[in-house]
Amino acid sequence: MPNEIAYPGMLFLIILSIEFYIVAAIFTKILSLCGLPEKKLDAMGFFGSIISAVTSILAIFLGYFLMRNLGLTSVEVSPKGIFLVAIVSTIILGIVVKSLEQIKAPTDKHEDE
């Protein structure tokens, strides 16, 4: 994948990651305003997970091209490369969230006793 991503330094990738977080927060807020807050998506089960994953991929994909067109990043990523980054980061985010929920659930049970 050497031709997919070109960046001048590691700091630029870190800044891009922070910008992705901000764009994802904006997309989450837009979903909330449309009537789909995180709790409602969780209650929808599998369909809610699909909506959340697609929204995350779109946030990263569209967010990158928006940031690039506005000149907010010097990292150059091809459309195939950013799509790959979006899918991998969404999968990792899903695994981390599920792991945190598993860790949090037993803790809550011990506090009730």
Please state the rounded mean pLDDT for residues 79-83: 86
Considering Cα of 57, then 58, then 62, then 63, what sign does the dihedral take?
Answer: negative
What local confidence, expressed as pLDDT, does residue 89 receive? 84
Q: How many domains does the chain have?
A: 1
Which domain range does residue 83 map to? 5-112
As a whole number of angstroms, the distance between CA 108 and CA 92 comes to: 24
DSSP summary character for residue 65: H
CA 56 to chain centre: 4
What local confidence, expressed as pLDDT, does residue 107 receive? 57
Q: Would you place residue 1 in the very low, low, confident or very high pLDDT band (cuts 50, 70, 90)?
A: very low
Of residues 3 and 35, the one with the higher pLDDT is 35
Condensed to tens digits (0 to 9), the pLDDT of residues 18-68 reads 888 788 888 878 878 887 777 787 788 888 888 888 888 888 888 888 888
106 pLDDT higher than 70: no
110 pLDDT higher than 60: no
Q: CB neighbours (10 Å) of residue 104?
A: 9
As a whole number of angstroms, the distance between CA 58 and CA 52 comes to: 10
